[in-house]
Structure 1
């Protein structure tokens, strides 16, 4: 189901997007977990040895901690007073009861001048979804996002009254799930300000307005029928949206911004992150940011592919990096064998309860 917002919903189309089939691959005994991990590591090593190295792989022989990254300045994005403007001319679709703006429409708008960073034109000209230090893929929804959403339900992760950070949020679906799970605060961070302004913020607004203006009956929603009424104009901030803050910039810079604020900063109970460990260049900044912002008894839930072609990162390389740092204890809590093998990792401080 998709529809175009122009102050309110004025068009509905029946083109519910297909999502990848999702099956569970729960781990069993400790022996099973170890065998699965060893098999996955061997697969990743084989892929790494056999795959061609791209330009982004030029530092592959260095350790992740030795690499430097672009320190893109951090910025907080204020929620506009007129929420209807946020969704104006956006085409919004649904998946798993979540609203998100159509990427292709946003890209066309950005090519027409809505993208001050120029990341869309650069992505198109380079024919790449990733340009290190310029564009980090936030306009797309990557499949590990859905793996992690599934895991929330399977593991019965509780968000009620928790302070949550969606790190490297992109579309922000993980944070939106936390919001719908009655989290106390949800903050969203992405490298690119264009992603926050044109993708994340509209997605959060669309979901918050939908929660605040429930339309149709429950049977309609279960059968994916279009809403029977238009969403009303937003005249004030929905309660859910008052729980949100939005940031762009490189991880360590965002961490500095939060920790140096004149207002007291309360650390996060839960940090959610998906498809953020594809590039070993970023491991140090990501690890240190989580270490600085996570509450002493908090949890990180990280979703990743076992190996990322051309860039060289992956779940077990990052796990080894975390072990060397000796700050977090890590656990692979789920393996998804469908397609490219993917994993869910849970992280907590070694001295946490």
Structure 2
């Protein structure tokens, strides 16, 4: 289902919330996704701080050119006073019980390069979903995100009163699930500021304001009843949004912004991250970020493919890296053995109970 603000809706009668064909319009068929992953995963910088993305138009085996990597400064994104404007000219769909903006429409509106970081036109001109240090692919949703959402549902994961970070958030679906689960605070981080402004923040707003059926982010949407043709406009900030903060920039820069901020900050009970271990060059930055921001009794839930061909990263290499650092313990809590094997890993400090 999809609807445009202001305000139209299309109902997809064949929508099945428990299947992964819901994202094939963005990922391609399962066979194409696997081939793309195996042949064209690209390397970004040594600390890109974002989800990995495919460069599906590159020939298989092509090595990306090496460019000096510049750290991308961290920025906190304010929630606009008039949040109704956040959803203007957006087409909103529903997947896995969550509202999210149609990313293809967002890409079209950004294609002329007149706004923000000009990431879409640069991505198109380079025939790549990843431009190291420029665009880190957050305008797409990738399948391991849904693996993690499914795991939360299967295990009845408790988010109540937890502080949560959605690291490399892209669409922000993991953080939104935590928000729906009555988390105390949810923070979102993505490498690109455009992704936060055009995707993450609108998605969060869409899930926190009334859609005309009385449903909000904390409500159970497992219902066949379609959403209203228009969300109710609000004159005040929904209470759920007051729990959220949004950040863009490279991981280490965001960590320093949080740790050195004058605003109150408490370390996270849960850090959720999907497909952020595809490049071994990132492991040190990711490890440091997790160790700096995770509460001493906190847990990380990380979803990943077994191996990222063409770049060399993957679950086993990352676990070896973690073992050598001797700070965290890891536990494989779920294996999805369909196509290219995928894993969900739980991490915690070794000295935690």
1:215–1:231 contact (8 Å) kept in structure 2 = no
SS in 1 for 2:112: helix
SS in 2 for 1:240: helix
1:3–1:12 contact (8 Å) kept in structure 2 = yes
RMSD across aligned positions (CA): 2.5
Point out 4+ residue stretches in structure 1 off by more than 4 angstroms.
16-20, 220-223
User: Which residue pairs with 2:307 in the alignment?
Assistant: 307
1:103–1:139 contact (8 Å) kept in structure 2 = yes
Q: Tell me which moved more, 107-116 or 202-211.
A: 107-116
2:211–2:227 contact (8 Å) kept in structure 1 = no
Rounded Cα–Cα distance in structure 2 between residues aligned with 1:281 and 1:17: 39
Rounded Cα–Cα distance in structure 1 between residues aligned with 2:268 and 2:345: 17
2:164–2:187 contact (8 Å) kept in structure 1 = yes
User: Which residue pairs with 2:230 in the alignment?
Assistant: 230
Rounded Cα–Cα distance in structure 2 between residues aligned with 1:329 and 1:274: 18
User: Which residue pairs with 2:259 in the alignment?
Assistant: 259
Gaps of 5+ in 1: 23-46, 60-67
2:163–2:184 contact (8 Å) kept in structure 1 = yes
TM-score (norm 2): 0.83
Deviation at 1:111, TM superposition (A): 0.9
Determine whether 1:54 maps to 2:62.
Answer: yes
Residue correspondence of structure 1 range 138-153 to structure 2 within 5 A? 138-153=138-153
1:56–1:132 contact (8 Å) kept in structure 2 = no
2:8–2:229 contact (8 Å) kept in structure 1 = no
SS in 1 for 2:208: helix
Determine whether 1:83 maps to 2:83.
Answer: yes
Determine whether 1:294 maps to 2:294.
Answer: yes
Rounded Cα–Cα distance in structure 2 between residues aligned with 1:267 and 1:211: 33
SS in 2 for 1:224: coil
Instruction: Kindly provide the CA deviation profile for residues 145-198 of structure 1, in whole angstroms up to 9, marking residues without a partner as x.
Output: 000001112222210000000000000000000000000000000000000000
SS in 2 for 1:159: coil
TM-score (norm 1): 0.83
Determine whether 1:14 maps to 2:45.
Answer: no
Deviation at 1:337, TM superposition (A): 0.7
Residue correspondence of structure 1 range 192-207 to structure 2 within 5 A? 192-207=192-207
2:17–2:96 contact (8 Å) kept in structure 1 = no
SS in 2 for 1:278: coil
Larger Rg: 1
Determine whether 1:120 maps to 2:120.
Answer: yes
Q: Tell me which moved more, 274-283 or 162-171.
A: 274-283
Rounded Cα–Cα distance in structure 1 between residues aligned with 2:10 and 2:151: 30
